[in-house]
């Protein structure tokens, strides 16, 4: 466990002073924050499971701003859920307050921690099993976009400035490659060159935004399959999670991350590149599900550019993994040496598959419109 049980108990006590922590386990998902599942007895007859998270200060410079976004978005989801007779305990995250009424602990020694209720009988998956699963997930992310179109008040805080500025991501990769602090460049030169070769395709979405063809929206920005909870009994998508990067962005970023995480049924760090292939039935379901969920919110150009979103997000993450590999694995959590390089290679391969398949993907979009 990254944090000691004692420390986690101290954190929980700030939220539930009378609670008794009965069980703690670490959640292995997520590349950035540290997450624990904690069973806590609040009263003798009331035992609940909570998700207790330590947020990464290095990655998120403005954590109070981040929590403001998360609470505003969750509030908007709760209003929508109520208006549409959705399940009020399972369709959005319920954040707990500390004894002082704060949404998180912000402590120099303990760190920045928040707690929300665990949703029972739900699962986040790493690989899409079927076109139907892809459809339901995409519909939920499309709906999320529709829900947030009604968000009022000031622009959300940019929790990570220039998060999906693909051009800047390339610039940082070039810098990391030329600095080559750890002498890793020679061993990854072929990957670097192949990534640089597809840059024009990866920039198409951003260029359309710069030309004013597509609008800024409030989007999730990390719309991968594992960030949707699916009901273990029905397989239905029940709740969008991980709202930390929910901020202004492009619809194509969300569709793109779904295409990245679902169109090939392989893990993000697949070693055998020959296994990485686009499942066109799944891809088609993603388009149909996303358009159904978004329910007319997207303009014609945003719809046309959905496949470009897939290429942008897949290439961008390949760029980010390789940058982190050159910089010494300081951003993404890794489970083994070389994981960031392997992730980068597999995401690059997937982006290349999408580029090869672009005419066919455009046809799928045209016939789904
Ligand atoms: C990170 O921590 P996690 O797994 O939710 C990253 C995303 C990447 C993703 C790749 C804040 O998300 O941008 O697409 O890994 N989040 C941040 O799996 O950088
Ligand atoms: Mg995330």
Q: Could you tell me if 151 and 247 are in contact, meaning their C-beta atoms sit under 8 angstroms apart?
A: no
Determine the pLDDT at residue 76. 94
Closest ligand to 35 CA? 1
- Which among 28, 31, 141, 169 is the best mutation to test ligand 1's pocket, defined by most ligand atoms within 8 Å of the CB? 31
Do domains 5-61+93-118 and 131-368 share one topology? The answer is no
Collect the ranges in the chain with pLDDT lower than 50.
none
Residues with a CB atom less than 6 Å from ligand 1: 30-32, 59, 222, 224, 242, 245, 268, 317
Give the residue carrying structure tokens 């194509």.
252
Rounded-to-integer distance, Cα 354 and Cα 278, Å: 7
User: Which tens digit of pLDDT belongs to each residue from 35-94?
Assistant: 999 999 988 888 999 999 999 999 999 999 999 999 999 999 999 999 999 999 999 999
Determine the pLDDT at residue 369. 83
Handedness of CA 273, 279, 282, 288 (dihedral sign): positive
Extract the tokens encoding 115: 């707690």
Rounded-to-integer distance, Cα 327 and Cα 177, Å: 9
Determine the pLDDT at residue 2. 87
Parallel/antiparallel/unpaired status of strands 237-240 and 111-117: unpaired
Residue among 344, 71, 327, 363 at smallest CA distance from 181: 327
Give the residue carrying structure tokens 């004013």.
212
Determine the pLDDT at residue 271. 98
Give the residue carrying structure tokens 């697949």.
270
Give the residue carrying structure tokens 């402590």.
107
State which CATH number among 3.40.50.620, 3.40.605.10, 3.40.50.10190, 3.90.1200.10 fits the domain covering 131-368.
Answer: 3.90.1200.10
Rounded-to-integer distance, Cα 339 and Cα 268, Å: 10
Determine the pLDDT at residue 328. 98
pTM given for the model: 0.93
Instruction: For the domain made up of 5-61+93-118, give the CATH fold.
Output: Phosphorylase Kinase; domain 1 (3.30.200)
Extract the tokens encoding 367: 């016939």
Determine the pLDDT at residue 245. 96
Determine the pLDDT at residue 310. 98
Determine the pLDDT at residue 362. 98
Closest ligand to 332 CA? 1
Residue among 316, 331, 314, 325 at smallest CA distance from 176: 325
Determine the pLDDT at residue 207. 98
Extract the tokens encoding 152: 């009022």
Determine whether 149 is exposed, middle or buried from the number of CB atoms within 10 Å of its CB (0-12, 13-18, 19+). Answer: middle
Q: Could you tell me if 304 and 365 are in contact, meaning their C-beta atoms sit under 8 angstroms apart?
A: yes
Spans of all domains in the chain: 5-61+93-118, 131-368
Distance 359 CA to ligand 2 centre (A): 31
């Amino acid at each position: 466990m990254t944090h000691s049980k004692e420390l986690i108990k101290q954190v929980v006590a700030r939220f539930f002073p009378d609670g008794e922590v009965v069980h703690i386990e670490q959640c292995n998902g997520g590349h950035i924050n540290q997450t624990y599942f904690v069973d806590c007895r609040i009263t003798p007859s009331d035992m609940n499971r909570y998700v207790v998270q330590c947020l990464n200060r290095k990655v998120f410079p403005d954590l109070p701003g981040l929590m403001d976004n998360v609470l505003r978005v969750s509030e908007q989801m709760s209003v929508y859920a109520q208006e549409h007779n959705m399940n009020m305990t399972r369709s959005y995250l319920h954040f707990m307050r500390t004894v002082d009424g704060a949404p998180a602990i912000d402590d120099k020694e303990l760190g920045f921690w928040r707690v929300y209720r665990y949703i029972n009988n739900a699962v986040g998956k790493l690989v899409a099993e079927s076109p139907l699963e892809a459809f339901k997930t995409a519909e939920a992310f499309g709906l999320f976009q529709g829900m947030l179109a009604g968000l009022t008040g000031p622009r959300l805080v940019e929790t990570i400035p220039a998060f999906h500025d693909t051009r800047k991501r390339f610039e940082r990769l070039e810098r990391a490659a030329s600095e080559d602090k750890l002498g890793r460049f020679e061993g990854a030169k072929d990957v670097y060159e192949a990534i640089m070769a597809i840059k024009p395709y990866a920039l198409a979405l951003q260029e359309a935004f710069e030309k004013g063809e597509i609008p800024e929206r409030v989007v999730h920005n990390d719309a991968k399959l594992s960030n949707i909870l699916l009901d273990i009994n029905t397989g239905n998508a029940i709740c969008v999670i991980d709202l930390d990067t929910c901020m202004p962005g492009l619809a194509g970023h969300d569709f793109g991350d779904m295409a990245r995480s679902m169109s090939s049924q392989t893990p993000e760090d697949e070693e055998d590149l020959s296994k990485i292939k686009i499942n066109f039935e799944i891809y088609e379901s993603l388009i149909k599900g996303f358009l159904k969920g978004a329910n007319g919110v997207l303009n014609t150009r945003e719809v046309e550019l959905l496949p470009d979103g897939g290429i942008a997000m897949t290439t961008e993450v390949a760029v980010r993994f390789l940058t982190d590999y050159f910089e010494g694995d300081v951003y993404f959590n890794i489970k083994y040496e070389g994981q960031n390089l392997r992730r980068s290679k597999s995401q690059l391969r997937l982006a290349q598959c999408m580029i090869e398949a672009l005419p066919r993907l455009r046809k799928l979009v045209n016939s789904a419109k």
